[in-house]
């Protein structure tokens, strides 16, 4: 078999796969949005593109990045699901509920709020992301990871923080405890 025949076979196979994808709901959001004709809202085909437009406009990670940059704790209300769970690097039990999750994330935004804080890597899935960050606090170089999950409405349902080194964990424990004290 020569290269031309292989190329034709691959081209025919690709065309068949693409045609099948377009006739079903197995397309990626980008292919679906760019290749699909505009549909009226009552069309059965409207649901898929509406979902992806809604998903793209309510990207929880983009919103989180904006809140961190602005140090905006008020925006957490719209970002967190009612059943959100926060996993702290220094508390043994999960903190369950929107209110307590907001308290922990608000405290973290204040504790970590300095010019050295920045995200260095981001891995994102359909409904979860891992964000690696670095900062320096009180002379200690801190490296950490935010592991975030969200629901289909784009609201965060789980936020887990991991930190290193041990000196950083101890320092964050002190500072977060001070922020979370009643009346702080």
Residue-wise pLDDT tens digits, 38-52: 344 444 443 433 343
As a whole number, mean pLDDT of residues 120-140 equals 95
Write the DSSP string, the chain.
--HHHHHHHHHHHHHHHHHHHHHTT-S-HHHHHHHSPP--TTSTTHHHHHHHHHHHHT-HHHHHHHHHHHT-STTHHHHEEEEEEEE-SS-SS-EESHHHHHHHHHHHHHHS-STT-EEEEEEE-SSEEEEEEEEEETTEEEEEEEEEEE-TTS-EEEEEEEEESHHHHHHHHHHHHHHHSTT-
Contact 84, 158 (CB under 8 A): yes
Q: Is the pLDDT of residue 181 over 50?
A: yes
User: 8-17, 88-97, 116-125: which has the minimum mean pLDDT?
Assistant: 8-17
Confidence of residue 27 (pLDDT cuts 50, 70, 90): very low
- More reliable by pLDDT, 93 or 34: 93
Residues of the chain with CATH 3.10.450.50: 59-180
Instruction: Give the whole-number percent of the chain exceeding pLDDT 70.
Output: 68
Q: Is the pLDDT of residue 180 over 90?
A: no
Assigned CATH for 59-180: 3.10.450.50
């Amino acid at each position: 078999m020569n290269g031309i025949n292989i190329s034709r076979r691959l081209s025919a196979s690709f065309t068949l796969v693409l045609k099948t994808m377009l006739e079903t709901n197995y397309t990626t959001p980008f292919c679906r949005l760019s290749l699909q004709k505009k549909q009226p809202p009552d069309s059965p085909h409207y649901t898929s593109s509406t979902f992806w437009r809604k998903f793209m406009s309510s990207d929880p990670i983009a919103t989180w990045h904006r809140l961190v940059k602005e140090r905006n704790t008020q925006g957490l209300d719209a970002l967190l699901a009612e059943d959100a769970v926060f996993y702290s690097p220094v508390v043994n039990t999960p903190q369950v509920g929107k209110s307590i999750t907001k308290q922990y994330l608000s405290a973290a935004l204040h504790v970590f709020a300095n010019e050295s804080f920045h995200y260095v890597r981001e891995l994102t899935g359909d409904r979860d992301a891992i964000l690696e960050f670095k900062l320096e606090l009180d002379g200690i170089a801190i490296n950490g990871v935010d592991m975030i999950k969200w629901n289909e409405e784009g609201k965060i349902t789980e936020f887990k923080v991991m930190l290193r080194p041990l000196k950083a964990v101890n320092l964050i424990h002190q500072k977060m405890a001070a922020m979370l004290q009643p009346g702080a």
